[in-house]
Chains A and B, each alone.
Chain A
Amino acid sequence: MFDWLFMDEWFPKFDWRWDYTWEILPRLIEATGNTLIAAAAGYLIALVLGLVFALAQRSQSRVLTFVVREFVEFVRSTPLLLQIFFIFYVGPQFGITLSPWVSGMIAIGLHYSCYLSEVYRGGLDSVPKGQWEAAIALNMTTAQTYKRLIIPQAIPPAIPGLGNYLIGIFKDTPMLSVIGVAELIHTANAIGSETWRYLEAYTMVGVIFLALSLPAAGLIRAFEGFVRRRLGM
């Protein structure tokens, strides 16, 4: 009944060649470095900008709050891929020509900063009002209160959410392949088109992503525990 599954002409496609796998592995590992750099750089941008956006949405200035909120909403409702294309291909029409790497980092950093700003916002809102009142009673400025009291207390509850987006950004780095950033998928594509063998390259890319993503969740939980202990919370 399932004979067709085992027809001879299917089998060659499933033949896995270890010698070939070892041959392409160094190139894939090198590309893994690029993927990690892209994820880390994009995430750093998002961590900083996300906090800036979150704070801006709490500012006294209605205009600033409105503009930032709308911008965040806009970025969150449009695809990352479109944003990457936009910065890389449309930018030059306005005289802004950026390398694939720079465009990619800006796009992915900006995109994720909008998601992170929501996570930060939740953390900032979770700090009790009494902390603000105590700060006023000590005559601290708003800036001092944020820096010394509110942000440090907002971070621990935000870590799980921030961590999820670290994994998210890591898995979204393949989108940078479309503008020629030599990360994992881009490299696997190149290998495949050179040899017409895709099985090993894509499989190994999957294994690499899996191997790096799986421990991440545990590490993030451990990191949250560490930060909470450090802050005595």
Chain B
Amino acid sequence: MEDLSGFPLEIVGENSPMVSFKKVRKSYGSLVVLDDLDLDVAAGEMVSVIGPSGSGKTTVLRMLMTLEKINGGVIYVDGKPLTHMDKGGKLLLANDKHLRTRRSDIGMCFQHFNLFPHMTAIQNCMEGPVQVLGLSKAEARDRGEELLELVGMIDKKDQHPSRLSGGQQQRVAIARALAMRPKVMLFDEVTSALDPEVIGEVTNVIRKLVSEHNLTMLMVTHQMGFARDISDRVCFFYGGKIEEQGPPAELFGNPKRERTQQFLSAVKEAV
């Protein structure tokens, strides 16, 4: 078993990060996808993740959402271990119960929305609050309507997903995730499955979240312009590691590493 004695049981202090990956390893068989990844995200920070296909961007988010098992290292959320639990001063791999208590701080939106097709927009938003948080239907409905209002979907609240466009579905999915009141929101290429003309309605919602809400956000995107606009920091992933990171102006305007330069010029050409 892995020796985790070097990892803290808790990260305390004024400026302790909201999310902290410490030497996180993930592999599928012999394929190493995340290679001793260290990544901190401060509370209220918006971090964009860019990089070539297969560099491990989605995996970072899936690990944080506990959709994938960790193979090494520890992930902390809000100072406390997420992937592990403190058993008498030792970090052990988290069990289901621990994961359930700790992942309540995290919400996620997916590339393909993953709305519940047998429920209307408002029912999608009420499901988590009623079933998981134990809100009454009336409370959950109020909360859901407020959020559908925020994402501009209130007039479609009684429609099933099959009656909504991709952009509309993604906005409902954002409302559904926010209804759980997470501290950290994860966005995995939320505009990649959308027609170009509706991308704006989703990015505008994310812009609004950044400017009006004190959420910590981690966003994987292929839209460089959008990442540059709204991020506090951009991380360029390459081969399961962060090759380069920094404020968007710096990373996009004056990339230091050759791989970053290559990637950014390749992306520019593709546009």
CB-CB contacts below 8 Å: A116-154 with B: 128, 130-131, 133-134, 136-141, 144, 148-149, 152-153
Q: Is the CB of A148 within 8 A of B127?
A: yes
Q: Is the CB of B114 within 8 A of A133?
A: yes
Q: Is the CB of B162 within 8 A of A138?
A: no
In angstroms, Cα B188 to Cα A76, docked, is: 45
Binding site for A on B (CB under 8 A): 65-67, 100, 103-104, 106-108, 110, 112, 114-120, 127-128, 131-132, 160-163, 176-177, 180
In the complex, the chain A residue whose C-beta lies closest to that of B106 is A137
Q: Is the CB of A137 within 8 A of B116?
A: no
A232 at the interface (CB under 8 A from B): yes
In the complex, besides A137-B67, A138-B176, A144-B131, 4 extra interface pairs with C-beta distance below 8 angstroms are A130-B114, A133-B67, A138-B177, A140-B132
- How would you classify the secondary structure of chain A's contact residues: helix, strand, loop or mixed? helix
In angstroms, Cα B117 to Cα A144, docked, is: 16
Which 10 interchain pairs have the tightest Cβ spacing? A232-B160, A138-B128, A130-B114, A231-B118, A134-B114, A137-B108, A139-B132, A144-B131, A139-B104, A152-B118
| Known A134-B116, A232-B120; contact A148-B131, beta-carbon cutoff 8 A | yes
Chain B neighbourhood of A211, CB < 8 A: none
Q: Is the CB of B118 within 8 A of A232?
A: yes
In the complex, the chain A residue whose C-beta lies closest to that of B129 is A138
Chain B neighbourhood of A149, CB < 8 A: 116
In the complex, the chain A residue whose C-beta lies closest to that of B101 is A139
In angstroms, Cα B132 to Cα A140, docked, is: 6
Q: Is the CB of B128 within 8 A of A131?
A: no
Q: Is the CB of A138 within 8 A of B180?
A: yes
Which of A136, A153, A231, A233 is within 8 Å of B67, CB to CB? A136
Which of B65, B118, B160, B161 is within 8 Å of A136, CB to CB? B65
In the complex, the chain A residue whose C-beta lies closest to that of B120 is A232
Chain A neighbourhood of B127, CB < 8 A: 138, 140, 148
- List the count of A-B residue pairs having beta carbons below 8 Å apart: 66
In the complex, the chain A residue whose C-beta lies closest to that of B158 is A232
In the complex, the chain B residue whose C-beta lies closest to that of A130 is B114
Chain A neighbourhood of B103, CB < 8 A: 136, 139
Q: Is the CB of A134 within 8 A of B110?
A: yes
Question: Which among A137, A148, A231 has the highest number of chain B CB atoms within 10 Å?
Answer: A137
Chain A neighbourhood of B161, CB < 8 A: 232
Chain B min CB distance to A210 (Å):
36
In angstroms, Cα B237 to Cα A135, docked, is: 28
Which of B104, B112, B128, B160 is within 8 Å of A233, CB to CB? B160
Chain A neighbourhood of B107, CB < 8 A: 137
Could you list 10 examples of A-B contacts with CB < 8 Å?
A136-B103, A137-B106, A137-B110, A138-B132, A138-B180, A148-B127, A232-B161, A232-B162, A232-B163, A233-B162
Chain A neighbourhood of B116, CB < 8 A: 131, 134, 149, 153
In angstroms, Cα B67 to Cα A133, docked, is: 7
Chain A min CB distance to B260 (Å):
30
Chain B neighbourhood of A130, CB < 8 A: 110, 112, 114
Chain B min CB distance to A87 (Å):
38
In angstroms, Cα B127 to Cα A149, docked, is: 10
Which of B104, B114, B180 is within 8 Å of A131, CB to CB? B114
Q: Is the CB of B160 within 8 A of A139?
A: no
Chain A neighbourhood of B117, CB < 8 A: 153, 231-233
Chain B neighbourhood of A232, CB < 8 A: 117-120, 160-163
Chain A min CB distance to B32 (Å):
23
In angstroms, Cα B119 to Cα A134, docked, is: 14
In angstroms, Cα B100 to Cα A144, docked, is: 13
In angstroms, Cα B33 to Cα A225, docked, is: 45
Chain A neighbourhood of B132, CB < 8 A: 138-140, 144
In angstroms, Cα B131 to Cα A63, docked, is: 30
| Known A139-B103, A140-B131, A141-B100; contact A134-B180, beta-carbon cutoff 8 A | no
In angstroms, Cα B118 to Cα A223, docked, is: 16
Chain B neighbourhood of A231, CB < 8 A: 117-118
CB-CB contacts below 8 Å: A189-233 with B: 231-233
Chain A neighbourhood of B100, CB < 8 A: 139, 141
Chain A neighbourhood of B131, CB < 8 A: 138, 140, 144, 148
Chain B neighbourhood of A139, CB < 8 A: 100, 103-104, 128, 132, 180
In the complex, the chain B residue whose C-beta lies closest to that of A131 is B114
Chain B neighbourhood of A153, CB < 8 A: 116-118
Q: Is the CB of A137 within 8 A of B177?
A: yes
